[in-house]
A and B are shown apart, each in its own frame.
Chain A
Amino acid sequence: MAQKNGEALTDLMQSERFLHRFERIFSVAVPVLAVIAGLLTAGVLIAIVGASPLEAYKALFQGAFGSPYETATSLNRAIPLILAGLGVTVAFRCGLWNIGGEGQIYIGGMFASAVGIYLVGLPLWIHLPLALLGGFVGGALYGGFAGYLKAKHGINEIITTIMMNYIAIYLVGIMVKGPMQEPPGYFPQSPQIQPGAILPIIWEETRLHGGLILALALALLFYVVLWKTPFGYEIRTIGSNIGAARHAGMKVARVQITAMLISGGLAGLAGASEILGAQYRLRDFFLPNYGYDSIAVALLGQLNPIGVVISGILFGALRAGAGTMQRTIMLPSSMVFVVQGTVILFVVGTAILANLPKYLAKRREAAHGN
């Protein structure tokens, strides 16, 4: 009898070990497969439109990485996606559905612009950090407000953050046609920021700016924060099992608000780095849809900061290569959005694969049993 029990236990442990290993492999394999499946499906759609998918993807790749200049452009597009994607990651890991990256980017851009334009005569080493900080604070306040409503009053953060997106986008519109408009007032845009607030170019003869260093450093920082610090542990516990977090005595509301402050702040930095590194002035709709795309970036990156960097670069490349694809083979650039959409669909769809390791373990078990 005891013999039999012992066998059953080792069997169980073996299947657990198997599961564990597979879940690890899956966290990398699934997003890669999703991207491949997305590109293949979109290829079919390109063929239906009447173009050659191979040519199209070649042009897309050329446009994204064909020359140093184009590679730099891809990376420049990736910077706000990575920063905002990190923000989404922090919020989602805490169980908060921050859909407000879009609005937080705009507010961050606006704050950074204000600091960059109206503070005069400061040296770079003071002015640039101040402008970046302004962007972070703007986004943080904007996201933190939704976090406060959620944590203290139970108001659904999905709804508040989505609605606040519109307020932010059109607030920027009002600002660049009103208080912040460049005199004498021909265009809906602000004056240029001071030279001291500009994020320097870090790759000569290209447009690649220092925001990349910021994005990579923050990705590394948040990898450490999430997995190697007590604070990150609190975030992940609350996001995974809020009941267990309460029973452990975690200050749930405080951590939730902090996570939303950080999440919004990172999105704000995305807006700030775009203004300070690429556009140098505030415009209407200056980063359209980056906030929403950053959700896809975060999900494709498996809510892991390192994964976010990789998927952010992929999405940046898709955006940057779109123009070339349009010019070379006369395919509408909106086709790139179709490609992106299909990839996102497959990424989200992989949720149904989440149980696959368990299923495989079961199959294996059954095969052994008989």
Chain B
Amino acid sequence: MENTIRLENIVKHFPGVCANDHISLTIKKGEVHALLGENGAGKTTLMNVLYGLLCPDFGQIFLNGEAVEIRSPKEAIEHGIGMVHQHFMLIPVFTVTENVVLGEDMPREPLLDIQQAEQRVKEISHTYGLDVDPKSKVWHLSVGAQQRVEIIKALYRNAKILILDEPTAVLTPSEVDILFKVLRKLVEEGLTVIFISHKLQEVMEICDRVTVLRNGRVVDTVETSETNQSELARMMVGREVFLQFDKEKMTAGEKVLEVKGVSALSDRGVAALQNISLDVHCGEIVGIAGVDGNGQCELVDAIMGLRKIDRGSILIKGKKIKENNTREIIQRGVSCIPFDRHAEGLVKSFSLSEVLMLKEWNNLPFTRHYLFDFNAIRSFSEGMVREYDIRAPGIEVKTGNLSGGNQQKVVLARELSRKPDLIIAGQPTRGLDVGATEYVRQRLLAERARGAGILLISTELEEILSISDRLLVIYEGQIMGEMFTANADLHDIGLMMAGVKRQPDGQIKEMPV
């Protein structure tokens, strides 16, 4: 009776990869159980199987000792299993209550009984400390509050087991604290929580037991009280990880990028960048830390000439850029690893060689007398495949058919092979496994050693701390502070990311010798 969920020998194949390889796992009633593993370890796949989104090739699920078959999320909910996805499934223009009751049968069909539903939403939020106004529109809410709405949605449907997929990825440190309070309350009330994460510190803080997955297999299940972070890290990657990179000492050279008091609007017409100033010198990596959606995308667009600047100016190698002239900016020696490689970096229906020439398609050696020189294109592509270790059956294969890590290597090869003076790197390791992540970071450090200036924009603080020389924190389109990474204070950065604290005048402390 104590075992709420037992998974036995779950197997799930995808083309070319076995995402879940005979996974067996027991989750006890009333515990917070972590599923820990790097990207691609099979955590989300396993939970999608449990939630009925995926059908396992093999294996069985037992709920309270009884074998069950879960074929859809609807059936999962009937069994009392609720899931909060990484990307929220909310309708922004609806109120909290409207979102909660969406798809539910109402007592007075076909009429909506919003009042009654509102009452229940209030009760639930009161019981579990899920602070949210049932009447407010979802788009008014902060990301943390939207997540609470998702939790309420599951509780409204009488979920007894709650699956949270990377719940802290989008939250600020203070929002994480609130979430953890809620989770403790849920467990107190007898619920079971499955917490998917790859963040060791959080797992240690909130979870009772942890199951570590690696390459689709269970490494072990341990009590958090009987382990520590470094042991978990070793289990997760199968070897010791070196978070700190050896950086050559560099003396920063001349300025390659100057952003002076830039303000710009977002696509929706609200202020996205407000009086932003920053510099990047040759031979240094400048990190921009911040929670997703605080103007990072707009900043990159502005530098690349893809967004209108309302005030201020941007200088590349001392020369002011004009908007709508991305071509010239690129030709001036700027490379960009875009945030979203599918929407901005790749053309999925294009072959590997076609994508590799995307930034220089019009130039020698690819184009000669208005015609493509296919010999030059082929030899360049083959060279890139070798140099960047792109695992593909040939240069004619469509990039949409490559794995995420290889797709990113294609983008990296294209951008870095141009020997740029300035590299704008937006989330360069998003969705990559540890090996590929390390590769990308090493490559960026190599570019730094070559003398390129790099602007690294990432929501992973760990990434910024491990490779950048200097960092700035962005919050709601404003720079909250600037510091050398060597004397960065994590607590301060956290407060700045949450918009709580601002450095006076953005003064930068002296670099320690």
Q: Report yes or no: A240 in contact with B358, Cβ–Cβ below 8 A.
A: no
Mask for A1-34, Cβ within 8 A of B = 1, else 0? Answer: 1001100110111111101100100000000000
Stretch with Cβ within 8 A of A (4 or more), from B107-115, B269-277, B308-316, B343-351: B343-351
**Taking each of B325, B329, B362, B394, which has the highest tally of chain A beta carbons within 10 Å of its own beta carbon?**
B362
Complex contacts, B345 vs chain A, CB 8 Å: 244, 247
Q: Report yes or no: B402 in contact with A16, Cβ–Cβ below 8 A.
A: yes
Q: Report yes or no: B391 in contact with A12, Cβ–Cβ below 8 A.
A: yes
Q: Which chain B residues (304-327) contact chain A, with CB distance < 8 Å?
A: 304-306, 325-327
Q: Report yes or no: A244 in contact with B343, Cβ–Cβ below 8 A.
A: yes
Q: Report yes or no: A17 in contact with B393, Cβ–Cβ below 8 A.
A: yes
Q: Which chain A residues (316-370) contact chain B, with CB distance < 8 Å?
A: 358, 361-362, 365-366, 369
Stretch with Cβ within 8 A of B (4 or more), from A166-174, A227-235, A289-297: A227-235
Given A229-B371, A247-B304, A12:B343 Cβ within 8 A: no
Q: Report yes or no: B18 in contact with A248, Cβ–Cβ below 8 A.
A: no
Q: Report yes or no: A247 in contact with B336, Cβ–Cβ below 8 A.
A: yes
Given B17, B340, B367, B397, which contacts A230 in the complex, CB threshold below 8 Å? B367
Q: Report yes or no: B326 in contact with A247, Cβ–Cβ below 8 A.
A: yes
User: How large, as a class, is the contact surface on chain A?
Assistant: 35 or more
Given A246-B326, A247-B336, A247-B338, A229:B370 Cβ within 8 A: yes
Q: Which chain B residues (358-409) contact chain A, with CB distance < 8 Å?
A: 358-359, 361-362, 366-367, 370-372, 374, 391-394, 396-398, 401-403
Complex contacts, A241 vs chain B, CB 8 Å: 343-344, 346-348
Q: Report yes or no: B362 in contact with A230, Cβ–Cβ below 8 A.
A: yes
User: How large, as a class, is the contact surface on chain B?
Assistant: 35 or more
Q: How far is the CA of A358 from the CA of B400 in the complex (A)?
A: 11
Complex contacts, B331 vs chain A, CB 8 Å: 249
Q: Report yes or no: B394 in contact with A230, Cβ–Cβ below 8 A.
A: no
Q: Report yes or no: A247 in contact with B306, Cβ–Cβ below 8 A.
A: yes
Q: How far is the CA of A4 from the CA of B17 in the complex (A)?
A: 11
Q: Report yes or no: B17 in contact with A12, Cβ–Cβ below 8 A.
A: yes
**Taking each of A14, A15, A16, which has the highest tally of chain B beta carbons within 10 Å of its own beta carbon?**
A16
Please give the distance in Å from B388's CB to the nearest CB on chain A. 15
Complex contacts, B13 vs chain A, CB 8 Å: 365-366, 369
Complex contacts, B391 vs chain A, CB 8 Å: 9, 12-13
B238 sits at the interface (CB 8 A): yes
Q: Report yes or no: B16 in contact with A15, Cβ–Cβ below 8 A.
A: yes
Complex contacts, B38 vs chain A, CB 8 Å: none
Q: Which chain A residues (222-268) contact chain B, with CB distance < 8 Å?
A: 228-231, 233-234, 236-237, 240-241, 243-244, 246-251
Complex contacts, A366 vs chain B, CB 8 Å: 13, 57
Closest B-chain residue to A1, C-beta based?
Answer: B238
Please give the distance in Å from A275's CB to the nearest CB on chain B. 33
Complex contacts, A236 vs chain B, CB 8 Å: 350
Given B17, B366, B367, which contacts A8 in the complex, CB threshold below 8 Å? B17
Q: Report yes or no: B306 in contact with A246, Cβ–Cβ below 8 A.
A: yes
B15 sits at the interface (CB 8 A): yes
Please give the distance in Å from A299's CB to the nearest CB on chain B. 16
Q: How far is the CA of A221 from the CA of B390 in the complex (A)?
A: 34
Given A1-B238, A8-B17, A13:B371 Cβ within 8 A: no
Complex contacts, B101 vs chain A, CB 8 Å: none
Q: How far is the CA of A124 from the CA of B326 in the complex (A)?
A: 47
Q: Report yes or no: B347 in contact with A17, Cβ–Cβ below 8 A.
A: no
Complex contacts, B16 vs chain A, CB 8 Å: 8, 11-12, 15-16, 365
Given B327, B347, B402, which contacts A237 in the complex, CB threshold below 8 Å? B347
Complex contacts, A246 vs chain B, CB 8 Å: 306, 326, 344
Complex contacts, A247 vs chain B, CB 8 Å: 304, 306, 326, 336, 338, 344-345
Complex contacts, B343 vs chain A, CB 8 Å: 241, 243-244
Q: How far is the CA of A11 from the CA of B372 in the complex (A)?
A: 33
Closest B-chain residue to A357, C-beta based?
Answer: B401
Q: Report yes or no: B402 in contact with A240, Cβ–Cβ below 8 A.
A: no
Closest B-chain residue to A363, C-beta based?
Answer: B15
Complex contacts, A15 vs chain B, CB 8 Å: 15-16
Please give the distance in Å from B298's CB to the nearest CB on chain A. 14
Complex contacts, A243 vs chain B, CB 8 Å: 340, 343-344
Please give the distance in Å from A362's CB to the nearest CB on chain B. 5
Given A229-B372, A369-B18, A248:B398 Cβ within 8 A: no
Q: How far is the CA of A257 from the CA of B330 in the complex (A)?
A: 23
B354 sits at the interface (CB 8 A): yes
Please give the distance in Å from A1's CB to the nearest CB on chain B. 7
Q: Report yes or no: A23 in contact with B238, Cβ–Cβ below 8 A.
A: no
Given A8, A20, A237, which contacts B394 in the complex, CB threshold below 8 Å? A20
Complex contacts, A251 vs chain B, CB 8 Å: 327
Given B238, B370, B392, which contacts A16 in the complex, CB threshold below 8 Å? B392
Q: Report yes or no: B15 in contact with A365, Cβ–Cβ below 8 A.
A: yes
Q: Report yes or no: A244 in contact with B361, Cβ–Cβ below 8 A.
A: no
Complex contacts, B326 vs chain A, CB 8 Å: 246-249
Closest B-chain residue to A231, C-beta based?
Answer: B370
Please give the distance in Å from A189's CB to the nearest CB on chain B. 43
Please give the distance in Å from B91's CB to the nearest CB on chain A. 25
Given A17-B393, A247-B306, A361-B15, A240:B350 Cβ within 8 A: yes
Q: Report yes or no: B392 in contact with A13, Cβ–Cβ below 8 A.
A: yes
Q: Report yes or no: A228 in contact with B344, Cβ–Cβ below 8 A.
A: no
Please give the distance in Å from A22's CB to the nearest CB on chain B. 11
Closest B-chain residue to A14, C-beta based?
Answer: B393
Complex contacts, A244 vs chain B, CB 8 Å: 343-347, 358
Closest A-chain residue to B305, C-beta based?
Answer: A249
Please give the distance in Å from A164's CB to the nearest CB on chain B. 28
Complex contacts, A13 vs chain B, CB 8 Å: 391-393
Given A8-B17, A15-B16, A249:B393 Cβ within 8 A: no
Q: How far is the CA of A17 from the CA of B393 in the complex (A)?
A: 6
Q: Report yes or no: A250 in contact with B371, Cβ–Cβ below 8 A.
A: no
Complex contacts, A12 vs chain B, CB 8 Å: 15-17, 391, 403
Please give the distance in Å from B212's CB to the nearest CB on chain A. 15
Q: Report yes or no: A20 in contact with B371, Cβ–Cβ below 8 A.
A: no
Complex contacts, B401 vs chain A, CB 8 Å: 16, 19-20
Q: Which chain A residues (165-202) contact chain B, with CB distance < 8 Å?
A: none
Given B17, B305, B394, which contacts A17 in the complex, CB threshold below 8 Å? B394
Q: Report yes or no: B398 in contact with A23, Cβ–Cβ below 8 A.
A: yes
Q: How far is the CA of A59 from the CA of B397 in the complex (A)?
A: 45
Measuring CB to CB, which residues of chain A are less than 8 angstroms from any residue of chain B?
1, 4-5, 8-9, 11-17, 19-20, 23, 228-231, 233-234, 236-237, 240-241, 243-244, 246-251, 358, 361-362, 365-366, 369
Can you list 27 contacts pairing A with B, beta carbon distance less than 8 Å?
A1-B238, A13-B392, A13-B393, A16-B16, A17-B393, A20-B397, A20-B401, A23-B398, A228-B372, A229-B372, A230-B367, A230-B372, A233-B354, A234-B361, A237-B358, A240-B347, A240-B350, A243-B343, A243-B344, A247-B304, A247-B326, A247-B336, A247-B345, A248-B326, A249-B329, A251-B327, A362-B14
A-B contacts besides A12-B15, A20-B396, A247-B306, 5 pairs, CB < 8 Å: A12-B16, A237-B347, A247-B304, A248-B359, A362-B15
- Shortest beta-carbon contacts, A-B, top 7: A249-B327, A12-B16, A249-B326, A17-B393, A243-B343, A243-B344, A241-B347
Measuring CB to CB, which residues of chain B are less than 8 angstroms from any residue of chain A?
13-18, 57, 215, 238, 304-306, 325-331, 336, 338, 340, 343-350, 354, 358-359, 361-362, 366-367, 370-372, 374, 391-394, 396-398, 401-403
